[in-house]
Structures are given as C-alpha cells and as structure tokens.
Amino acid sequence: MTMKIYTSLDQISGPFPYACVTIGNFDGVHMGHQQLFNTVSDLARRHRGTGIAITFEPHPLQVVRPDIGIKLISTYEQKVELIAMAGVDVLLVLPFTKEFAAMDAEHFVDRVLVETLGVKELVVGYDYAFGKGRQGNAEFLEACGRQRGFTVRVIPAFKVDGMVVSSSKVRELVTAGRMEEVTKLLGRYYQLRGVVQMGKKRGGNILGFPTANLSLNENDLCPKHGVYVTQVVYGGKCYGGVLNIGYNPTFADSRLAAETHIFDFNQDIYGQPIKINLLKHLRGERKFSGPEELTAQITRDVAEAREVLAEAEEELILSCASQHND
C-alpha cells in the first residue's frame, strides 16, 4: 500500500482506524528511528489499524535556533522516501513555525493526537520531547494517555557496536569521514544527491578520468574532504566510482564541489539527477605538484576502490535493489 502524505491538519477528515502514532524529527531516518516505525507498523497490523508518523518541516531547530546552523543528514525528499520504505501507512508533515513552536504540549496532544488522528497507541523514543519548553516528554505523555485513553510505549536507546544511535552521532561521524560506522547507524549507505553540473572538464581532458560534478552547499552536512569509494545510482542502474569532495587544491579552485569518476560509464549526463552512496573514505584531499602526479594518485585510488567494491559486492547488490524500489 502506498503511504499517504498530509501536510496540514485540515486535509484530514476524521480520526483514523485504531491510530498507532509515532512523532519525531526523523533526520536521517536512522536505525533508532526505524525501531519506532517498526513498532508502529506492527501495532497497526495487530489491531487492523493505521500506522502514522508525524514529522515537521522545516526541522524545528532551523526555526527556534537558527544561530546554531544545524546541518541535516537527509533532505525532505529523502526523509519522505525513507519513511515510506519503513512501512507506515500515513505521514503527517506539520509546517513548523515560531507560532507552532509556542504551542503548549497539552494543546498539541488534544488538537493533533486525540481530535484529528484519534490516537490509540503512541510510540516515542526515550529522549523525545516536544511543545513549548519541551514539556511533552515521555512522562507527560504517559499521564496524558491515562487521562485520554491511549497507550504510550517508550522505545529505549538503540545501540550499534556500543554506540547509541542518534542523528547527532551520525552527523559527527559523517563530518569525520567515518563512513563504515555511518552505514551501521543508518542501516544503509550515506547518500549525496544532486544534478550533474558542467565542470571545467579537467577530469577527462587533462587527467584521463572524466567526472560527474555536483555543487555542494556549505550549509548542508558535508562529509570530510577527500576521496571516497562510491556507488553511483543513475538511470535505474548502479555503478562503482571514486569521489573527491573539496576545493581541488592542485588547481586552486575556490568552490566546494563533489567530483565523481564513474567506473565503466561513458554517457553524457549533464543536467541529470544522480545519487551517490559513500562507502569508505580513502584519503584526505591534498595538493599535488601537477596533473601527472594527480593522475598517478587517482589511478591508485581507482584500483583501491575496485578492491573495496569487490569485497562489498553482496551489500552493493542489495543496496542497488533498494534504490530501485524508491
């Protein structure tokens, strides 16, 4: 069944059958978030009800704390795709404004959860809180549930290799280029997306390694600069590749860019959207004496990347299959 998406309470005509609800920002839709979706979906199936996720757009911290400049793991488009893949029936995306931020938690429970959705089961993470002054924590919600006739289930911290899975931990690891650990916390590869831009054509003409170039916004979550092993998703197929993120110091560029050499590929894809999964950070970005030294290093990078891709062949096939189900 296709997930239904609502972007306003006014679009919902009445309570859903046995509404099983979870609520959160869900940035990155990591393994911890997936425990919430799995619980909601299981409860909904058990009671022949409706599995519902509530999230916000933009991210609340972009509204209430714009000074900290939060860098998001996933775009809105990615987040919606990933929540749909998690198997919930309904996604309610509430516009987050300063006025909305001022709403007290009790009013949110009554207006959104009880009156609009008809909540019967509410599933939240152990550390989640919402509403003015973060009043809506687990203890508050459990008290509301007793008064209003719904059950609250609090999901404990989810750990991978001893690490508590959280969006802030994922951001920390992405920034450090620790992609193998990022993959474990997300349950999938970290992905960059964009439209292929016209570059300076040095990759093919000068270096012998043509690249597909994406512009990066410095306000977005940017992995550690350097060279990565990648899986490139384009046109319904997946290809291996190597990616350089940075300023290309050998040529003294001033613009941050992601340049990907795609293996066994010779199509013209300027202006086309591609997805790039990051598997492993190979090395940092550095300045070379000139094109010949850089070409020799890229040749070594490509050889090492092909070895990594060969070792991860089974995981890559599964990843590619899931991309085509988006």
User: Which active-site residues does the annotation give?
Assistant: 259
Q: Other CB atoms closer than 10 Å to residue 145's CB: what's the count? A: 19
d(CA 134, CA 124): 14
CA 23 to chain CA centroid, nearest Å: 17
Candidates 44, 97, 69, 315; CA nearest to 187 is 315
Collapse the DSSP code of 5 into the 3-class scheme (helix H, G, I; strand E, B; otherwise coil) and give the result.
Answer: strand
Tokens of 314: 């089974």
Q: How far is CA 158 from CA 35, 71, 136, 305, in A?
A: 8, 22, 21, 31
The sign of the torsion formed by the CA atoms of 295, 296, 302, 308 equals negative
d(CA 187, CA 317): 15
Instruction: Please report how the helices 167-175 and 179-186 are oriented relative to each other, as an axis angle in degrees rounded to 10.
Output: 160
d(CA 23, CA 94): 11
